[in-house]
Amino acid sequence: IANYKGIAQTSFKDYVGAKQSFTEAYNVNPYNLQVINNLGTSYDLTGDKKTALLYYQKALDISPRYKEALINKAIVHYNLNEFDKAMECILKVPANEKNPDKFEKTMLTICKRKAISLGNRCDEAKIIKWLQDDNSIKATFAKVQKTKEKFDVILLQELAK
């Protein structure tokens, strides 16, 4: 019940109350992935991003392929300007599967940011064109997952064509 109460509190933007409810739910169900993920998100929404990362990692320790926790962890790393860690997390979510709604937006945002950081190492016109084409970004992301190469390497190869 505490988990559902926390979800309702979150929808009403009572993040402090939600954190209390999710903590109560966690104390009762410390291995429930949704509870752990929700608790992590409540820490993120109340500004404690480091603790949020700890809870997302707890969920991933139980289930390393838990997509919600991987995506949320990527978002927190991105918001902490830890773009390599954000990319590392989002790459663990298979792009060719059904994913949570926020996956695509998160993946595109992280890929674009990583590409911008490479701007001084490639042709500006090519990178601008790539940044404006979501299908090109998705194709590059899929190629990185398939080849298991670093995103930077694949993108630089793509932009050198």
- Per residue in 84-135, pLDDT (tens digit) is 999 999 999 999 999 999 999 999 999 999 999 887 787 888 999 999 999 9
Q: Which helix (H) or strand (E) holds 137?
A: helix 134-147
pTM confidence score: 0.93
- The answer to whether the Cα torsion of 130, 134, 136, 137 is positive or negative is positive
97 close to 70: Cβ distance less than 8 angstroms: no
Residue 34 has pLDDT above 90, yes or no: yes
b/e code 102-119 from CB counts within 10 Å (16+ = b) = ebeebbbbbbbebbeeee
Residue 161's pLDDT band (boundaries 50, 70, 90)?
A: low
